[in-house]
Structure 1
Amino acid sequence: MSMYLQPSTREELISALGQLTDKSRIIAGGTDLMPDLRKKRPDVDIFLSLSAMEEMKEIRISDDTICIGAMATHDSIARNAEIKTWATALHHACSHVGSQQIRNRGTIGGSLANASPAGDMIPCVCLLGGTLLLLGADGAFRRIPAEDFTLGVSRTALHPGEVLFAIELPVRKDRSTAFVKLGSRKEVTIAQISIAISWDKGTRYQNPDGYLGAVDVTPVHLEEMPELIGQGPVDDAAKDRLAESLRDRIRGIRMNRKRPPKLKITEAERLYKERAVRSVVYDVFDLAETID
């Protein structure tokens, strides 16, 4: 029979982390874990629920840092006015995760720790220069850049006995951001492809940066954006150059792998992603025009 732990303080959480084994599972919102348990019925010795950890549900904002507890729900993040202002891409992503019921229950920490290639959170947190705070069974925090957290499908940099405790984002008042995704339907959809972009606030679009999601096991950094779209207004020709470059990146991701990919994509899905990338490029710049 499985043991169920539900700490409500940091001290209780640290004690619980010390009891975990490789058969234990941590429950955040449960929106991914519960369907997985029904499907696979794994042998779990300890369920560690974070639902009573009020400290991990807090969103704290200072002059230079946004600190989001890992148990903050997508809905609470989407409704936060300061996040909408200073981390707009994350606001966009959290506003369109699943259904309203999923947004009410699902958490940013659970989404990141689930490490799904189609996850909406990780491209945004990478774009925003996020740092993840990991709490260990020894009571110490380990800080890791968001770019280094996801290692593959359902694999993260979490060590045994660690939990994702909070996400820190720098407040960049000089930058604007946006996020869009394309799925099989308009609402309650899983991303087939997504893009998060940033640029200097008040410009169209100087020093652009971006991440592409749902095309590889980890988000793809778009280092080529400044060269492809320039430092000024982005016309259709510039968008098409960026879209063509991203199509080439998607083809290259598949062709350059030396072993069968863990991210299983059929040939039809690959072609869909290559063709759909133009739509998300145009969509994200259409959205960007409404910001600032």
Structure 2
Amino acid sequence: MDLNTIDTVVEMSTREEQATWQAGDAWLAGGTWLFSEPQPQLRRLIDLTGFGWQPLRADAHGLEIAATCTLAQLFQARTPMEWTATSLIGQCRQALLGSFKVWNEATVGGNLCLSLPAGPMISLTASLDGVCTIWTPESSERQVAAADFVTGPRCNVLAPGELLRSITLPVSALRCRTAFRQISLTPHGRSAALLIGRRSPDDGSFVLTVTASTVRPIQLAFHEVPRRVGLLSALERAIPPELYHRDVHGAPEWRRHMTVRLAEEIRSELSERDER
């Protein structure tokens, strides 16, 4: 839709221009959410495409994803065969409630910064130990774990004027064996629970990341795949009732039930090799 309160669009190309941030500004990347509803509080859009960031950069340390990288560009990424966890990219893209038109415009950074519990790029980057690089208006930067970036529905760690620059996924996580589970109330509805498990090929350690059913990502780490009772106990300790999300896409009690069920499916799948 038209944003009739906007009187200026700025194309940024230098870090110095970030210092001009003021109340009524918004970063513009894909704009799929920004232009989907009225934004009466906004007066100026700052277009991030002016920076010309490379969408993806893979090296021996892992995969760096620019905040302006679209979901389509991420899905088309060519990565080493041993990065088996990149199968999650397609699974998480499919979990986004949107058409191929949205996939071609929506950005990874935008999905994180919108900070909805069901954001699948939050699920992807948090589950693979992503590290967010944040630019500050003072031309410095800081780093935050992707699992800690979102603090609640539509809330995150960004201060006014700060900008998410990129998310880096380490090779240690990209080499893991993974299991993905997602459920919605309707066949094409917003995720009500999205869980991702991963197991290290080196030491057999197990990490479970819970998203969508909770107001923020919850991550549980184990030295090995736990037994069923151990996993259930860990979930109960890590997710008190108030952390389960409530909206029209699912009641907290149902989300808790599905979280426990999907977590057990993931635990069972990633322990199959030990049981053969």
TM-score using structure 2 length:
0.80
- Relative to 1, partners in 2 of residues 1:181 and 1:225: Cα closer, same or farther, differing over 3 Å? farther
Aligned mates of 1:125, 1:227 — CA distance in 2: 21
Partner residue of 1:218 out of 193, 210, 216: 216
User: What per-residue deviation string (whole Å, max 9, x for no partner) do you get for residues 119-153 of structure 1?
Assistant: 11223212212111112233322222223322222
Aligned to 1:232: none
> C-alpha deviations, 1:54-94, integer Å up to 9, x for none?
31x52000011211110111111112131885242344212
Shift of 1:198: 0.8
Aligned to 2:240: 252
Matches within 5 A, 1:1-292: 2-7=6-11, 9=13, 11=14, 14-35=15-36, 37-38=37-38, 41-55=39-53, 57-82=54-79, 86=83, 87-88=85-86, 89-98=88-97, 99-172=99-172, 174-187=175-188, 189-201=189-201, 206-223=204-221, 226=224, 228-229=226-227, 238=228, 241=229, 244-245=232-233, 248=236, 252-254=240-242, 263-265=245-247, 269-277=251-259, 280-281=262-263, 284=266
1:222 Cα shift? 2.3
| 1:102 alignment partner, SS class | helix
After TM superposition, give the deviation of residue 108 of structure 1 in Å. 0.5
1:129–1:146 Cα contact (<8 Å) kept: yes
Give ranges in structure 1 of 5+ residues lacking alignment: 230-237
SS at match of 2:166: strand
Contact 1:69 1:165 (C-alpha < 8 Å) held by counterparts? yes
One-letter identity of the residue aligned with 1:276: M
User: AA paired with 1:23?
Assistant: G
The count of residues paired between Structure 1 and Structure 2 equals: 265
Identical aligned pairs, as a percentage?
Answer: 19
What displacement does 1:272 show?
Answer: 2.2
CA distance in 1, matches of 2:202, 2:215: 33
Contact 1:31 1:105 in 2 (8 A): yes
Relative to the length of structure 1, the TM-score reads: 0.76
* CA distance in structure 2 between the partners assigned to 1:286 and 1:79 by the alignment: 30
The alignment partner of 1:105 has SS state of coil
Does the 8 Å CA contact 2:210/2:259 hold for their aligned counterparts? Answer: no
Mapped to 2, the partners of 1:216 and 1:184 lie a distance apart of 15
- Give 1:267 deviation, angstroms: 11
Aligned pair in 2 of structure 1 residues 83, 71: CA closer, same or farther (>3 Å)?
Answer: farther
CA pair 63-80 structure 1, distance change in 2 beyond 3 A: same
In the alignment, the residues of structure 2 paired with residue 286 and residue 102 of structure 1 have an alpha-carbon distance, to the nearest angstrom, of 34
